[in-house]
């Protein structure tokens, strides 16, 4: 009898903060198939789709990635009432869409101004336009920081404090600090600050996993600040374990 092949740890390179043409500030060539092809070209094995306050293009990118050596995590970048950004990563589209429903219910009212902020394109896996999102996705929600993190976890998601080193739209820029007891799964450092520097500068938050990501809004930026993970596969649950430094999985220092 031939035994099952033992699973082995490997290094997975990923970019967990990628926008599509749905985000008003992203370029229109950030379409599902173009994102997939660019990610593969950059050697990525895992990406997360994290549009502003919406997950409407996540399923299309996942469908576009079928047949490629690329895994796609559905998510979104949520703007809290404090105007801090939280990247939410979900195990499946269902969790992302459930969170989207809550976000839409609490999103700042008004329509997007295409000329001012940019058009918000809903696309399919073939890069065809399916529609235009008229909501003000660039706006803030009425959900407080703690409420957002709790809601993400209730939907089996991971909550990451986005680009905490930035001077705007981060937990630190808006509050001056990360509240004690805030149950984040990781904190993200922008590509502007080396991770080694960030770990020293933000040593008070060493209890969290430190990651970096591109926050790509155009194809050229996709994968410019990749993260490496010691895991057994390019999938959400492996990243969850890596964030928690559990069962041999971990975020590899240095990015």
Q: Which helix (H) or strand (E) holds 147?
A: helix 145-154
Residue for token pair 């749905």: 22
Residue at 238 is within a domain:
yes
Q: Is residue 111 part of a domain?
A: yes
Q: Has residue 3 been placed in a domain?
A: no
DSSP 248: T
**2 falls within a domain:** no
* 30-68 pLDDT tens trace: 999 999 999 999 999 999 999 999 999 999 999 999 999
When pLDDT is cut at 50, 70 and 90, the band that residue 4 belongs to is: low
Q: What is the pLDDT of residues 234-255, one digit of tens each?
A: 999 999 999 999 999 999 986 6
- pTM given for the model: 0.95
C-beta separation of 62 from 91 below 8 A: no
Residue 242's SS3 state is: helix
- Write out the two tokens for 66: 């079928």
Instruction: Please determine, for residue 160, whether its predicted confidence score (pLDDT) is greater than 70.
Output: yes
Position 5 confidence tier, pLDDT thresholds 50, 70, 90: low
Domain count, the chain: 1
- The proportion of the chain whose per-residue pLDDT surpasses 90, expressed as a percent, equals 96
Per-residue pLDDT, 7: 76
Q: Give the pLDDT score at 1.
A: 44
Distance from the first to the final alpha carbon of the chain: 42
Tell me the residue range of the domain where 45 lies. Answer: 10-247
> Does some domain include residue 32?
yes
Q: Is residue 255 part of a domain?
A: no
The CATH number linked to 218 is 3.20.20.140
Average confidence score pLDDT of the chain: 96
Q: Residue 84 domain-assigned?
A: yes
Instruction: Convert the pLDDT of each residue in 164-203 to its tens digit.
Output: 999 999 999 999 999 999 999 999 999 999 999 999 999 9
Distance CA 45, CA 36 (A): 10
Could you tell me if residue 254 is inside a domain? no
């Amino acid at each position: 009898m031939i035994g099952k092949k033992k699973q082995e740890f490997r290094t997975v390179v990923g970019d967990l903060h990628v926008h599509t043409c749905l985000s008003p500030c992203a370029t229109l060539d950030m379409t599902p198939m173009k994102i997939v092809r660019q990610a593969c070209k950059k050697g990525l094995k895992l990406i997360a789709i994290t549009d502003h306050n919406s997950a409407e293009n996540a399923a299309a990118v996942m469908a576009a990635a079928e047949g490629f050596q690329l895994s796609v995590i559905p998510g979104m970048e949520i703007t809290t009432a404090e105007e801090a950004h939280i990247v939410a990563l979900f195990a499946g589209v269902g969790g992302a869409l459930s969170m989207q429903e809550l976000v839409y219910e609490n999103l700042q009212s008004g329509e997007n101004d295409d000329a001012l902020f940019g058009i918000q394109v809903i696309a399919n896996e073939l890069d065809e336009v399916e529609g235009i999102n008229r909501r003000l996705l660039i706006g803030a929600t009425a959900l407080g920081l703690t409420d957002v993190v709790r809601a993400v976890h209730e939907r089996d998601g991971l909550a990451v404090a986005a680009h905490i080193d930035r001077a705007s739209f981060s937990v630190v820029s808006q509050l001056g600090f990360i509240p004690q007891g805030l149950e984040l799964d990781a904190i993200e450092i922008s590509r502007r600050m080396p991770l080694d520097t960030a770990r020293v500068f933000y040593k008070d938050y060493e209890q969290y996993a430190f990651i970096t990501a591109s926050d790509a809004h155009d194809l050229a930026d996709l994968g410019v600040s990749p993260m490496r993970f010691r895991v057994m596969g390019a999938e959400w649950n492996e990243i969850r374990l890596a964030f928690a430094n559990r069962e041999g999985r971990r975020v590899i220092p240095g990015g």
